[in-house]
Amino acid sequence: MDLRLTDTVVLVTGASRGLGAAMALALAAEGAYVVAAARSKDSLAEVAAQGGGRISAVEVDLRDEDSVRALVPEVLARHGRIDGLVNNAGIAPAGKFATQDPEIWKDALTVNVIAPMLLAQAAGVRMIEQGGGRIVNVASTTGLRGKPFLVPYSTSKGAVVRFTEALAAEWAGKNVQVNCIAPGAFVTDAQKAVTDSPELHAKRIAKIPAGRMADPSELVPLTCLLVSPVSAFTTGATFVVDGGESGKL
């Protein structure tokens, strides 16, 4: 299937490693021009070097509103348009709720909710001017069901799901599709403590009907489809990719 991504322009946040890097590389392989954004300059450069000239890197700190607000204008300065936005970056502070500092909550909400909102607003306005576009928000299965010791993360990712639905309804008539992906357990640096421990790894995969954790490459076909104009009638949906974990009793 031709996803009609050739020469489209897509911004991917959190693109220096893990899921974000896999998404950026896959979109570039489909012919898109990708602006890969993250805090890590060196890691971004490594991703861009693999993109066949179709990935450019830009540093951004999602905790800094000025940095976030400058991102979409930078994409437009480089390419003159923006056809897709993948809000992938996020943080997952862990700890006991009873003793958590409110600053931890502010940090999680700033990175996981406010930054995607600002980027969706800036990108979406330009997409509407262009005649359409697609926004993909990356949530988590912990945004669908609460998880102990990850209360700020779970709360913020639940907000991302509702944000996706509400914005999709508001912009559907403007040919801007807004969808959400909720990944489960993937083998990334964020899961290193689990994957490096045979005991923790065994406990983790015991919860997954598929009997394993996923590779980041297994998320990219769905991402490319949702960023593609061929999915123009799909909006306001949350796609769960978790090996059946959230669907079992």
* Residue 193, domain member (yes or no): no
Task: Cite the DSSP H helix spans in the chain.
Answer: 18-29, 41-49, 65-69, 71-79, 102-109, 115-130, 151-171, 192-195, 198-205, 220-227
d(CA 169, CA 235): 8
With 0.85 as the threshold, say if the pTM is over it. Answer: yes
Angle at 119 between CA 114 and CA 120, to 5 degrees: 95
**How many domains would you assign to the chain?**
1
Q: Which residue in 3, 10, 17, 153 is the catalytic one?
A: 153
Range of the domain at 34: 9-183+219-241
User: Helix (H, G, I), strand (E, B), or coil: what is residue 182?
Assistant: strand
Mean pLDDT of 33-47: 96
Q: Which of 35, 51, 50 is nearest to 88 (CA)?
A: 35
Residue 192: per-residue pLDDT = 82
Whether residue 33 lies in the annotated active site: no
pLDDT one-digit tens code per residue, 176-190? 999 999 999 999 888
Residue 163 counted as domain residue: yes
Query: Which residues lie below 8 Å from residue 135, measured CB to CB, with a gap of 6+?
Result: 84, 85, 87, 120, 123, 124, 127, 167, 176, 177, 178, 179
Q: Quick check: is 77 in a domain?
A: yes
Tell me if 152 is assigned to some domain: yes
Q: What separation, in Å, do the N-terminal and C-terminal C-alpha atoms of the chain show?
A: 36
| Separation CA 197–CA 194 (nearest Å) | 5
Report CA torsion sign: 227, 111, 90, 29. Answer: positive
Task: Flag whether 227 is in a domain.
Answer: yes
**Which residues touch 171 (CB under 8 Å, ≥6 apart)?**
124, 128, 178
Mean pLDDT of 32-37: 98
Residue 126's domain is classified under what CATH number?
Answer: 3.40.50.720
Contact indicator for 119, 137 with CB cutoff of 8 Å:
no
Name the band, by pLDDT with cuts 50, 70 and 90, for residue 249: low
The model's pLDDT over 172-225, given as tens digits with 9 standing for 90+, comes to 999 999 999 999 999 988 888 888 889 989 999 999 999 999 999 999 999 999
